[in-house]
Amino acid sequence: MKYKFYQYVNASNAIKKMMGMDFDFKDSYNLYRLAKQFDSVVQFGAERERELLEKYNGTITNDGYINFTHGEGDESKRAGDENKAAFQKALAELNDTVIDEDITPVCLSIETMTGKPISPNDIMAIDGFVLFK
C-alpha cells in the first residue's frame, strides 16, 4: 500500500488505541498482526527523526519540547532559529514521504465496533488498513 509516512503513523496510533479494547480472539489476533506490520515503518520514522534532531542540533527538553538554541546571545538564537526552521522543513518532507509497504488489511464487522469508543479521526486514520463489513 502506498501512503504517506504520516498516514502510517496516524493509523498505527489509532490501531494501538484499538488494541486496548476488548475483542473476540480472532479480531484481537488480526489487530495484533496488523499492528506488527507497522513496526518497520514507524521504526524508520523514529530513526529518521533522531537523525534530523542530531543534524539540526535539537535536544528534547524534560517537558517534551525541542530546544534548538544552545548558549546565550543573538548568535545562538539566530543559529537556533535557523536550525528549527530547517528541522521543521525536513520533518515535513519526511511526513510527506510516500512509502510503499506491503500491509495486509484486516476486516472487522461494524457490529463488532458498535459501542466501542473510537473517534471519527481514528476511523479516518485506519481507513484502508481496517475494512469494515
Which residue, among 38, 1, 35, 39, has the nearest Cα to 17 in the 3D structure? Answer: 35
pLDDT digits (tens, 9 = 90+) for 56-65: 988 888 888 8
Residue 123 confidence class, pLDDT cut points 50, 70, 90: very high
* pLDDT at residue 61, rounded to an integer: 86
Residue 115 confidence class, pLDDT cut points 50, 70, 90: confident
What does the domain layout of the chain look like in residue ranges?
A: 2-132
pLDDT digits (tens, 9 = 90+) for 20-40: 999 999 999 999 999 999 988
**Model-wide pTM > 0.85:** no
